[in-house]
């Protein structure tokens, strides 16, 4: 019996990454915050029989984001995630791609709308400056519905900030 090779490549390219600094008030325009992403391309290994029995395959590494205040006063920073692909291809729904924060055990299906990953108050060179976390990914597997294919999708990480 041969192993079916399936992988999801969620590449963060310049076209797929969107850094949105939402400006809600004029004092916010002076607030500069940077978002740095590492390990943005998510690749899954070929699933094994054990993965199918478990119902999922984990990506071996997570994507880490770091928020750093460049200047300004206190602000609230929010990191969100969404898919910018309608599906994974091969008839596989986008909700079969799941994510979770490294400090939480709950898995969430990725959606086409922004889902809040984490929110923190930042004070330049003080509280939560910088702060970071890692997002882990896994792919839901099903012997009866997953066609042999290479699946792919793109996701978007968004940083927004507001002044309290």
pLDDT number for residue 107: 98
Distance CA 43, CA 113 (A): 22
pLDDT number for residue 30: 66
Distance CA 94, CA 103 (A): 24
pLDDT number for residue 6: 28
pLDDT number for residue 72: 85
List, in order, residues 6 or more apart from 117 with CB less than 8 Å away.
Answer: 65, 79, 80, 81, 99, 101, 133, 135, 157
pLDDT number for residue 12: 35
CA dihedral for 56, 59, 60, 65, sign (positive or negative): negative
pLDDT number for residue 129: 94
pLDDT number for residue 25: 35
pLDDT number for residue 27: 47
| Domains along the sequence of the chain with CATH | 8-162 (2.60.40.1090)
Positions in the chain short of pLDDT 70: 1-30
């Amino acid at each position: 019996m041969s192993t079916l090779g399936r992988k999801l490549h969620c590449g963060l390219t310049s076209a797929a990454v969107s850094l949105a600094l939402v400006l809600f008030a004029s004092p916010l325009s002076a607030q500069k915050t940077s978002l740095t992403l590492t390990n943005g391309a998510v690749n899954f290994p070929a699933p094994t029989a054990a993965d199918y029995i478990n119902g999922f395959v984990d990506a071996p590494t997570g994507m880490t984001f770091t928020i750093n205040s460049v200047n300004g006063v206190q602000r609230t920073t929010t990191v969100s995630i969404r898919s910018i692909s309608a599906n994974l291809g091969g008839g596989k729904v986008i909700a079969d791609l799941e994510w979770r924060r490294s400090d939480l055990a709950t898995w969430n299906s990725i959606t086409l709308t922004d889902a809040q990953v984490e929110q923190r108050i930042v004070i330049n060179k003080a509280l939560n400056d910088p702060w970071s976390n890692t997002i882990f990914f896994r792919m839901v597997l099903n012997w009866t519905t997953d066609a042999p294919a290479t699946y792919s999708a793109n996701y978007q990480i968004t940083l927004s900030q507001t002044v309290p």
